[in-house]
């Protein structure tokens, strides 16, 4: 690490800030002034010059993306030492503290964070019997009062205070905290436990805070407590970019910080290296009359000189959309500006809806950060709900939301009606509705499948890794569309090549050979994804470098004799799979797919009964088989005297008469030996949740006073997930798998055949998962299959079409690199591949932004794979709730569609700002006096000006602002801010 090199890269003001003594420093840094570079340099300087260990450095910011960028920059300078620097958001930092000291603040070890929707639902539920009208409005008002109480210590009205007590009690009961409690509890912990506060103050000898203008009162007090003793605190702020007062941010913290830490003059970074002088001047004209930190600040332009800013007016939205699209294409085709250097900004998400549709139709790549979190994705919301209910099955609010989300409004309403009529819990009402004969058979089946799937997940959670649990949730989602590969892959032929365990466990080299360089280029990339850092290209001239312990993958014949272990994949092709690259994918899948070991040991049981009602019927026969390592090792079977008459219809089914069981032992007599037989094993039954498990639980309560503790699993639910369009009775499944059911409806024969059915379904599930695994490799194979011209066989076509969407997307990991390496023109190869894809699959969408959804979920889940499941769920849910909208933006060649808030911290060469009409910019709500935002109108209008300032200063070279006469079906007038900018530009 060369500190002089770091310092020499800074301008005079930046260096002045970096080389300050270990005293409180306030650096006011406008947009484009290099604040991140300076902040990173200050951290490096503290480590190098003041010899502060990296693990004693704390750097806080306000988004995961900003924290990640800071860490990456530190990594470029400090290398591995950067991992020791504590970087993160203030909320995540406080969560870490609360996790460690959860007992001191009265939290469960596995607490997690609830989102806004949950808070609103809870408040509406708490006031349901106290407020008759406008409950949602009253709940919002209460929520605002609570926020003001927690963040600003503003007293609550008596009614709100009463509801707040109930609110806190509910969160405590269900191991939850809200966003504000993360901060409030951390503050209370540090105040009430001076030793803990001193410990963190001692641990972090140097504190750095970015985006300080966005801190609220509680956040500032936490930071102040940690820094007061050593006073080595470096704060970066820009009062002109304070745009979050509506959610509690207090830009006055800048002045308070200066007073508390005796700072007379801040360091001001005055050179904007991003934007040109016209853009800077226009932006300054917007905020010059707002309340700003003294002294007056003026930014100077750095490198950009030929910038432009102009306005465009339209009669209607269609004209505006056409103009925007044409301008984007003009910049791309004539100016050679990458899409990634273009952005369209707007006040609210709804402004982008029609534009996004147009860009999809025109196949213009784009990405959105709309101000919504990843958690707001409809499918992600369901996954979160499942995790929350699995984590806490007794939380009725979550169950209600999950039922409405998965099954729809009508079933949810029917359950609520039963709940009111019977005065029971929502859960009992759900079970009640599922067993009613007056509802349709389809609804009964849907409800039973939902209940069974949820019960299976809750029961098996202790056996799952976190990744397995997420996968099971996704499999069970009612409306999760299957990807193309998930639809087609089950028809792939089985691939027999065995997994080589030594290949998986060793670190020896893997050599890849193909006689054509263009193909070995792709093959190397594929194998390196699976075995990173181990892959080498085999050539004639380096043949002698192969060690006997190495491995060789041959995609075409090799003339020399190989002494190392080798795989002749070119011989594994078939009529359904002619491309050696399809074979390579199947070989990789074999090494990727892991077999679940959950169901190696279990007990299958079955009951024959006196009738069909599980709440009343007696048991006439009980049988079970014990399974070890997937094989039956022991049987159990006995007739049982039910001490009641057998229904004639039931007797016809199982052929057991009253006389047959007259001298048999009663359930009380056989109960102990049955419990001894099942031990602690997983219990499996077919239609168990609707029948067998309910009966067993009834007798367990009667005899022992409590349910049995065994984890249970319903194989019928599993079969329905695997074969949703088929009949899934034991008879139907026996026929499907060509199994002999024996003497059907006698318990022992039933459990034996059910065991074999269960194993068959497990095997098919494993094979299907194996065939769709490694979807991130398909784009590589698609390119190779196209170049081979092997697009006739079924598997080759499927793998090509499954991979071509990613291959031709802005996010491809191979396309551009291949073109550059092999002297292909991007546009020419793109057109050829796209044409072939359209021939094979007319109307194929060449890139769907939802395609990577599952991959992103699994990528995030992988971070928690090694944690105990309860902790993994808590950490995952907390992380997802704290993900910022811009965290999902990728480094791809795609136009960015952004709200002003989401655009903060980003930069682009070309920017179009939509929605420059009054009541949009500034917002209609800025003109209103209301209880939800009790700031004066002039304060709210100032914040709207700062919001526009943020938008304007995203641009490097060119800004176009648009306004329409009619938007959303209403006549509009132009924004007063826009009129002021136009007037200012004319005066210049």
Confidence tier at 295 by pLDDT (50, 70, 90) = low
> Would you tell me how many other CB atoms lie within 10 Å of the CB of residue 1?
11
- How far does the chain reach from its first CA to its final CA, in angstroms? 47
Within this chain, do residues 392 and 352 fall inside the same structural domain, yes or no? no
- Give pTM, 2 decimals: 0.77
Q: Taking residues 306-315, what's their average pLDDT?
A: 90
Residue 330 · residue 885 · CB < 8 Å: no
Most confident by average pLDDT, 121-135, 145-159, 373-387, 675-689: 675-689
Within this chain, do residues 95 and 225 fall inside the same structural domain, yes or no? yes
**The predicted structure's pLDDT at residue 249:** 74
Residue with more model confidence, 544 or 704: 704
Residue with tokens 């269900």: 174
**The predicted structure's pLDDT at residue 830:** 87
Within this chain, do residues 95 and 54 fall inside the same structural domain, yes or no? yes
pLDDT for residue 736 is more than 90? yes
pLDDT for residue 887 is more than 70? no
Q: Taking residues 778-795, what's their average pLDDT?
A: 94
What residue numbers bound the domain in which 793 lies? 489-593+773-840
Q: Which two tokens stand for residue 545?
A: 């470098």
Domain termination residue (choose one: 430, 460, 483): 483
In this structure, of 363-367, 562-566, 694-698, 755-759, the range with the lowest mean pLDDT score is 363-367
Please name the helix (run of DSSP H) or strand (run of DSSP E) that holds residue 344, with its range, or none.
Answer: strand 342-346
Residue 859 is assigned to a structural domain of this protein: no
Short-list 302, 362, 297, CA closest to 326 = 362
pLDDT digits 0-9 by tens, 69-96: 888 899 888 888 888 999 999 999 999 9
Q: Taking residues 346-367, what's their average pLDDT?
A: 82
Q: Taking residues 238-261, what's their average pLDDT?
A: 84
**The predicted structure's pLDDT at residue 561:** 84
pLDDT for residue 688 is more than 80? yes
pLDDT for residue 888 is more than 60? no
Residue 649 is assigned to a structural domain of this protein: yes
Distance from C-alpha of 90 to C-alpha of 150, rounded to nearest angstrom: 16
3-state SS, residue 961: strand
In this structure, of 162-176, 264-278, 933-947, the range with the lowest mean pLDDT score is 933-947
Which of these is catalytic: 71, 174, 745, 755?
Answer: 745
Q: Taking residues 740-765, what's their average pLDDT?
A: 89
CATH number, domain at 319?
Answer: 3.40.50.300
Confidence tier at 527 by pLDDT (50, 70, 90) = very high
Short-list 981, 959, 949, 978, CA closest to 911 = 959
Confidence tier at 371 by pLDDT (50, 70, 90) = very low
pLDDT digits 0-9 by tens, 172-188: 999 999 989 999 999 99
Residue 156 is assigned to a structural domain of this protein: yes
3-state SS, residue 786: helix
**Alpha-carbon distances of 946 from 152, 153, 453, 940, 953, rounded to whole Å:** 23, 26, 50, 10, 10
Residue 862 is assigned to a structural domain of this protein: no
Please name the helix (run of DSSP H) or strand (run of DSSP E) that holds residue 692, with its range, or none.
Answer: helix 692-704
Short-list 882, 881, 810, 817, CA closest to 851 = 810
**Alpha-carbon distances of 954 from 112, 251, 893, 897, 944, rounded to whole Å:** 35, 21, 17, 13, 16
CATH number, domain at 389?
Answer: 1.10.486.10
Residue with more model confidence, 207 or 847: 207
Within this chain, do residues 431 and 450 fall inside the same structural domain, yes or no? yes
Confidence tier at 894 by pLDDT (50, 70, 90) = confident
Residue with more model confidence, 967 or 372: 967
Residue 897 is assigned to a structural domain of this protein: yes
Question: 631-639 and 619-628 as β-strands: parallel, antiparallel, unpaired?
Answer: antiparallel
**The predicted structure's pLDDT at residue 656:** 94
In this structure, of 289-298, 486-495, 533-542, the range with the lowest mean pLDDT score is 289-298
**The predicted structure's pLDDT at residue 905:** 83
pLDDT digits 0-9 by tens, 427-457: 999 988 988 888 888 898 889 899 999 999 9
3-state SS, residue 495: coil
Q: Taking residues 376-381, what's their average pLDDT?
A: 79
Distance from C-alpha of 988 to C-alpha of 982, rounded to nearest angstrom: 10
Within this chain, do residues 823 and 931 fall inside the same structural domain, yes or no? no
Q: Taking residues 381-400, what's their average pLDDT?
A: 90
3-state SS, residue 970: strand
Residue 877 is assigned to a structural domain of this protein: no
Within this chain, do residues 97 and 189 fall inside the same structural domain, yes or no? yes
Residue 871 is assigned to a structural domain of this protein: no
**The predicted structure's pLDDT at residue 526:** 94
pLDDT for residue 979 is more than 60? yes
Number of structural domains the chain divides into: 6
Domain termination residue (choose one: 784, 805, 840): 840
**The predicted structure's pLDDT at residue 759:** 94
Within this chain, do residues 41 and 97 fall inside the same structural domain, yes or no? yes
CA 953 to chain CA centroid, Å, is: 30
**The predicted structure's pLDDT at residue 893:** 76
Question: 619-628 and 602-609 as β-strands: parallel, antiparallel, unpaired?
Answer: antiparallel
Active site residue 745: yes
| Total length of the chain | 988
Q: Taking residues 410-435, what's their average pLDDT?
A: 89
**The predicted structure's pLDDT at residue 167:** 93
Residue with more model confidence, 62 or 386: 386
Q: At what angle do helices 715-722 and 747-772 cross, to 10 degrees?
A: 40
Residue with tokens 């006739």: 792
**Alpha-carbon distances of 930 from 116, 137, 925, 937, rounded to whole Å:** 20, 12, 9, 10
Within this chain, do residues 821 and 968 fall inside the same structural domain, yes or no? no
Residue 269 · residue 28 · CB < 8 Å: yes
**The predicted structure's pLDDT at residue 785:** 96
**Alpha-carbon distances of 572 from 183, 567, 603, 790, rounded to whole Å:** 59, 9, 40, 15
Within this chain, do residues 69 and 188 fall inside the same structural domain, yes or no? yes
Q: Which two tokens stand for residue 575?
A: 């009529």
Residue 599 · residue 758 · CB < 8 Å: yes
Within this chain, do residues 91 and 214 fall inside the same structural domain, yes or no? yes
Distance from C-alpha of 253 to C-alpha of 120, rounded to nearest angstrom: 29
Residue with more model confidence, 366 or 222: 222
Residue 75 is assigned to a structural domain of this protein: yes
Domain termination residue (choose one: 770, 791, 812): 770
Most confident by average pLDDT, 338-342, 663-667, 875-879: 663-667
pLDDT for residue 628 is more than 90? yes
Short-list 318, 325, 274, CA closest to 300 = 274
Within this chain, do residues 421 and 479 fall inside the same structural domain, yes or no? yes
pLDDT digits 0-9 by tens, 796-828: 999 999 998 888 877 788 988 898 888 888 788
Distance from C-alpha of 795 to C-alpha of 495, rounded to nearest angstrom: 12
pLDDT digits 0-9 by tens, 720-734: 988 988 999 999 999
**The predicted structure's pLDDT at residue 98:** 94
Within this chain, do residues 647 and 752 fall inside the same structural domain, yes or no? yes
CATH number, domain at 606?
Answer: 3.30.420.10
Q: Taking residues 253-260, what's their average pLDDT?
A: 91
pLDDT for residue 193 is more than 90? yes
**The predicted structure's pLDDT at residue 6:** 84
Short-list 476, 534, 538, 484, CA closest to 507 = 534
| Mean residue pLDDT across the chain | 88
CA 380, 381, 387, 390: dihedral to nearest 10 degrees? -140
């Amino acid at each position: 690490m060369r500190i002089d090199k770091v310092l020499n890269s800074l301008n005079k003001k930046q260096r002045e800030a970096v080389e300050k003594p270990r005293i409180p420093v306030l650096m006011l840094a406008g947009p484009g002034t290099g604040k991140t570079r300076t902040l990173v340099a200050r951290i490096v300087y503290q480590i190098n010059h003041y010899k502060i260990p990296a693990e004693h450095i704390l750097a806080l910011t306000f988004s995961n993306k900003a924290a990640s960028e800071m860490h990456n920059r530190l990594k470029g300078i400090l290398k591995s030492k950067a991992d020791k620097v504590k970087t993160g958001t203030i909320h995540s930092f406080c969560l870490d503290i609360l996790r460690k000291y959860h007992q001191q603040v009265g939290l469960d070890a596995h607490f997690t964070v609830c989102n806004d929707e949950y808070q609103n639902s809870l408040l509406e539920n708490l006031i349901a019997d106290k407020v008759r009208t406008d409950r949602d409005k009253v709940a919002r008002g209460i929520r605002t009062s609570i926020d003001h109480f927690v963040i600003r210590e503003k007293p609550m009205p008596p009614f709100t205070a009463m509801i707040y007590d109930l609110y806190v009690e509910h969160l405590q009961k269900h191991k939850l905290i809200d966003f504000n409690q993360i901060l409030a509890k951390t503050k209370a912990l540090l105040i009430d436990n001076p030793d803990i506060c001193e410990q963190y103050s001692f641990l972090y000898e140097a504190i750095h805070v970015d985006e300080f203008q966005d801190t609220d009162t509680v956040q500032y007090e936490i930071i102040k407590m940690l820094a007061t003793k050593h006073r080595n605190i470096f704060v970066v702020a820009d009062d002109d970019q304070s745009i979050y007062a509506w959610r509690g941010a207090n830009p006055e913290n800048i002045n308070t910080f200066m007073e508390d830490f005796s700072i007379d003059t801040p360091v001001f970074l005055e050179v904007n290296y991003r934007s040109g002088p016209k853009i800077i001047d226009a932006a300054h004209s917007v905020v010059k009359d707002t309340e700003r930190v003294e002294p007056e600040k003026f930014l100077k332009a750095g490198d950009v000189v030929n910038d432009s800013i102009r306005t465009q007016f339209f009669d209607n939205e269609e004209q505006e959309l056409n103009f925007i699209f044409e301008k984007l294409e003009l910049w791309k085709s004539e100016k050679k500006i990458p899409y990634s250097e273009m952005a369209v900004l707007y006040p609210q998400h709804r402004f982008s809806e029609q534009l996004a549709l147009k860009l999809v139709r025109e196949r213009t790549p784009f990405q959105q950060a709309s101000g919504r979190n990843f958690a707001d994705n409809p499918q992600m919301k369901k996954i979160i709900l499942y995790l929350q209910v699995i984590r806490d099955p007794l939380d009725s609010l979550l169950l209600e939301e999950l039922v409405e989300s998965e099954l729809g409004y009508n079933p949810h309403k029917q359950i609520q009606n039963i709940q009111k009529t019977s005065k029971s819990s929502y859960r009992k009402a759900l079970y009640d509705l599922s067993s009613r004969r007056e509802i349709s058979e389809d609804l009964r089946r849907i409800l039973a499948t939902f209940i069974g799937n949820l019960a299976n997940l809750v029961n098996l959670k202790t056996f799952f890794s976190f990744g397995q649990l997420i996968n099971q949730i996704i499999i069970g989602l009612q409306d999760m569309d299957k990807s193309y590969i998930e639809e087609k892959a089950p028809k792939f032929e089985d691939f027999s090549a065995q997994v080589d365990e030594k290949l998986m466990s060793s670190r020896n080299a893997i050599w890849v050979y193909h006689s054509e360089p263009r193909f070995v280029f792709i093959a190397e990339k594929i194998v390196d994804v699976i075995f990173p850092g181990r892959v080498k290209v085999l050539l004639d001239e380096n043949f002698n470098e192969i060690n006997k312990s190495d491995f060789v993958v041959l995609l075409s014949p090799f003339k020399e004799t190989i002494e190392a272990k080798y795989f002749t994949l070119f011989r594994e092709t078939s009529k359904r799979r002619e491309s050696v690259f399809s074979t390579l994918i199947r070989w990789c899948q074999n090494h990727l797919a892991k077999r679940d070991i959950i169901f190696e040991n279990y007990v299958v049981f079955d009951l024959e009964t006196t009738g069909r009602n599980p709440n009343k019927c007696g048991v006439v026969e009980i049988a079970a088989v014990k399974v070890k390592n997937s094989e039956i090792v022991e049987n159990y079977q006995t007739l049982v005297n039910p001490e009641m008459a057998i229904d004639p219809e039931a007797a016809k089914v199982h052929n057991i008469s009253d006389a047959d069981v007259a001298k048999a032992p009663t359930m009380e007599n056989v109960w102990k030996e049955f419990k001894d037989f099942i031990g602690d094993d997983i219990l499996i039954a077919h239609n168990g949740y609707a029948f067998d498990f309910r009966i067993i639980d009834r007798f367990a309560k009667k005899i022992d006073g409590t349910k049995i503790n065994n984890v249970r699993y319903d194989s019928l639910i599993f079969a329905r997930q695997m074969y949703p369009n088929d009949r899934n009775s034991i008879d139907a499944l026996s026929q499907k798998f060509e199994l002999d059911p024996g003497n059907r409806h006698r318990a022992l024969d039933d459990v034996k055949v059910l065991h074999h059915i269960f194993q068959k379904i497990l095997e098919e599930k494993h094979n299907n998962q194996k065939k769709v695994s490694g979807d991130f490799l398909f784009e590589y194979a698609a390119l190779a299959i196209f170049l081979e011209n092997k697009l006739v066989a079924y598997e080759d076509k499927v793998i090509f079409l499954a991979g071509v969407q990613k291959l031709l997307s802005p996010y491809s990991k191979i396309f551009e690199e291949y073109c550059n390496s092999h002297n292909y023109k991007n546009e020419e190869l793109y057109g050829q591949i796209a044409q072939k894809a359209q021939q094979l699959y007319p109307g194929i969408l060449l890139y769907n932004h939802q395609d990577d959804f599952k991959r992103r979920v699994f990528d995030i889940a992988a971070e928690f794979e090694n944690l105990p499941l309860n902790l993994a769920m808590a950490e995952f849910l907390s992380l997802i709730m704290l993900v910022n909208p811009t965290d999902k933006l990728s480094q791809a060649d795609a136009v960015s569609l952004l709200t002003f808030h989401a655009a903060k911290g980003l930069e682009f060469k070309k920017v179009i700002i939509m929605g420059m009409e009054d009541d949009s910019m500034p917002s209609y709500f800025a003109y209103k006096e209301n209880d939800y935002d009790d700031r004066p109108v002039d304060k709210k209008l100032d914040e709207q000006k700062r919001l526009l300032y943020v938008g304007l200063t995203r641009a490097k070279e060119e800004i176009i602002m648009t306004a329409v006469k009619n938007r959303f079906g209403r006549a509009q007038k132009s924004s007063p801010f826009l009129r002021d900018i136009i007037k200012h530009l004319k005066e210049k």
